Amino acid sequence: VTIVLVFLVVIAASYYRLSSQKPLYRSSIKVKVVLRSPVIGQTHIELAAGDYLATHMEEIRSYSVAEGAAKRLGWFDGVTDSTEKEGITRSIQGSITTQQVKDTSIIQITVTRSNPEEPRQIADAVAQTHLDYNVEERGKVRRSMREYIEKELVKAEERLKVSEEALQSFKEKAIHGEV
């Protein structure tokens, strides 16, 4: 009798637990990460150190990318309370996982939520926000490189001017026999 009673209690507890759980829905999207190292002449400029893919995976899971995804989805529309915005952002951030696809430069972004429509929307918004961020960062790198080249060009022009003046002075001295 005790065994039957324990069995019935376990069955009832299991049924209650399973029936009270909300189903979870997942959606994944894959993004390819390409390491581009700018080249000036034949010199490669190192942009970042460390594990490039791990850096991208951290960026994808970051608060700023989650916040950008929330904005892209319009989830902040009509929300003025900063605490509520932070809660929305943290909720998105907490639902994102990333994983490198074995032996590739591809990152799989997976979003898990209880609402069946949200995972795909969030995964797409996160991937697009990350892409936009990287385009912006590459633009910053290009601007920085252009500014560096412009400064170096000014220096080279100054050195050329000094050299031309020295050559002209030498020619004049040579003409007058002073060399």
User: What is d(CA 15, CA 28) in angstroms, rounded to the nearest whole number?
Assistant: 30
Residue 65, classified by CB atoms within 10 Å of its CB into exposed (0-12), middle (13-18) or buried (19+), is buried
**What percent of the chain is predicted at pLDDT more than 90?**
53
Residue among 113, 157, 138, 147 nearest 23 (CA):
113
Across the chain, mean pLDDT equals 86
**Residue 151 in this model has a pLDDT that exceeds 60:** yes
With the C-alpha atoms ordered 65, 68, 69, 70, is the resulting torsion angle positive or negative?
Answer: positive
Q: Which of 5-19, 50-64, 160-174 has the lowest mean pLDDT?
A: 5-19
User: What is d(CA 159, CA 154) in angstroms, rounded to the nearest whole number?
Assistant: 9
Give the pLDDT band of residue 37 (cuts 50, 70, 90): low
Q: Which helix (H) or strand (E) holds 66?
A: helix 63-73
**Residue 19 in this model has a pLDDT that exceeds 80:** no
**What is the model's pLDDT at position 126?**
96
Helix axes 118-175, 63-73, angle to 10 degrees: 120
> If you average pLDDT over residues 162-174, what whole number do you get?
90
Does the predicted TM-score (pTM) go above 0.85? no
- Give me the residues paired with residue 64 across strands: none
